[in-house]
Structure 1
Amino acid sequence: MSTRRRGEELERAILDAAAAELRESGYAGMTMDRVAARAGTNKNAIYRRWPHRAALGIAAYRRITDAAMPSPDTGTLRGDALEMLRKANETWSSPYGAILRGLLAAAAEEPELLALVRERSGADTMDRAWLAMLERAAARGEAPPGAVHPRVASTPMMLLRAEYAMRGVPAAPDEVLVEIVDEVFLPLVRGRGR
């Protein structure tokens, strides 16, 4: 006799199924029918939790990226920042980046979905990782306490995203990453102590 899954167990099964569909088919190929079949449930169970395919796609993408979030601790702020940017650059040009680009393209026509993508696509997880990096640097005496600020933490990733937009390709040369860290991020961090 099988037991019917409910609550968190069912949500995990649905998110795992959606994540697998995203990995295999991208957002364009992910359907509610395929996710339901893979999760061993029905579409109504999915729609009760996620009102549309984009919301499920975003939640599944976040599940994928949260598990892969880097947390480097090289011992220096410069080393940590370069490692974070290199990992982000690698991810954006990987199949995971293609999934996010597909989600962004699908959400571009609907402002509330675009806001949902921004809010739930892992940006806040990434910001927390950068803040944690700044906190470690401040604890080592490598950064002033005033540098531990959300705007400071988000600056390198915003500059990297601008590079993608300007270049029209999902990767930036390593020398650009070094410039972002050495010419913008580190001077910004140091300047916060004045």
Structure 2
Amino acid sequence: MTATRRRGERLEHAILEATWQILTEAGYAKLTFEAVAALAGTSRPVVNRRWPTRAELALAAMDHTLPAGAEPPDTGALRSDLVELLRQAANGFDAVRGEVLAGLAAETARDPDGTAALHAWIARSTPQDRMAAVIARAADRGELPAADLPPRVLRLPFDLIRNEAVVFGRPPSGDAIDSIVGDILLPLVHQLTSR
């Protein structure tokens, strides 16, 4: 593809779409600045100016393709709200994202900048505010006492989903989500809110 003169959002969109296409078709291991530039119809220096590392480029492409966050589910019961919330989160973690995160984790282990980019992406992409809203709504309904849960507890179910996607190459099944909610999350939330 020959280079086309584009700027701003149009150029960024083309680069991120090209990056996602390479990640989807060839995987993180095959992601190169040269391949992205060629597919996007631009030059490597243009891509490098915006994203200095391969990790930052891959994470930007994952952000670019994530669906917009939905409202926290309101099914009328804490358990089913949590199952639906985790189901929505798991749907956002397809095999490509799991493979990219596994590749990034391995690569960034020796790269402080890449590690910082990965940690920032995980913090940014974890919907703990939606989890807090589900818990607050359950307290309003009288299902549990009102309490501010620690951020680590609010992140926990999403960390488990991300772990499953990375380790097993796919998001957790419906049975696994039921287990995360019933065996881990509900007992923990009830213990912390009953103190």
TM range (shorter): 0.7 to 0.9
How many angstroms apart in 2 are the aligned matches of 1:147 and 1:183? 21
Could you say what secondary structure the match of 1:19 adopts? Answer: helix
- Aligned ranges 1:158-177 → 2 under 5 Å: 158-160=159-161, 169-170=168-169, 175-177=175-177
Distance 2:68 2:148 in 1: 26
The residue aligned with 2:178 is 178
| CA-CA distance at 1:56 after TM superposition | 0.5
Alignment match, 1:129: 130
Shift of 1:107: 1.8
Code of the residue aligned with 2:182 in structure 1: it is: D
The one-letter code sitting in structure 1 at the alignment partner of 2:31 is: M
Aligned equivalents of 2:153, 2:24: Cα separation in 1: 32
Does the alignment pair 1:114 with 2:115?
yes
User: How many Å separate the matches in 2 of 1:143 and 1:61?
Assistant: 36
The amino acid that maps onto 1:37 is A
Aligned partners of 1:162, 1:34: CA distance in 2, in Å?
A: 29
Write the distance in 2 (CA, Å) between the matches of 1:71 and 1:44: 39
Q: Which moved more, 1:81-90 or 1:16-25?
A: 81-90
Q: Which amino acid aligns with 1:112?
A: D
Q: Distance in 2 between matches of 1:26 and 1:183?
A: 34
Amino acid at match of 1:73: P
| SS in structure 1 at match of 2:168 | coil
For residues 78 and 69 of structure 2, the distance between their equivalents in structure 1, rounded to whole angstroms, comes to 17
In structure 2, the gaps of 5 or more residues are none
The match for 1:58 is 59
Read off the aligned partner of 2:67 and give its amino acid letter. Answer: A
Q: Name the residue aligned to 2:188.
A: 188
- Report the Cα offset of residue 72 of structure 1: 5.9
Identical positions, percent: 39
Q: Does the residue aligned with 1:67 lie in a helix, a strand or coil? A: coil
| One-letter identity of the residue aligned with 1:41 | T
Alpha carbons of 1:117 and 1:174: their partners in 2 closer, same or farther (altered >3 Å)?
Answer: same
Q: Which residue of 2 aligns with 1:82?
A: 83
Letter in 2 for 1:187: P
- Stretches of 4+ moved more than 6 A in 1? 162-165
SS in 2 for 1:181: helix
- Tell me how far apart the structure 2 counterparts of residues 67 and 90 of structure 1 sit (CA, whole Å): 10
TM-score (ref. length: structure 2):
0.75
In structure 1, the residue corresponding to 2:180 is in which secondary structure? Answer: helix
Name whichever of 34-43 and 89-98 sits farther off.
Answer: 89-98
**For residues 104 and 59 of structure 1, what CA distance do their matches in structure 2 show?**
16
Q: Distance in 1 between matches of 2:109 and 2:23?
A: 19
Cα 1:184–1:33, aligned 2, differ >3 Å: closer, same or farther? same
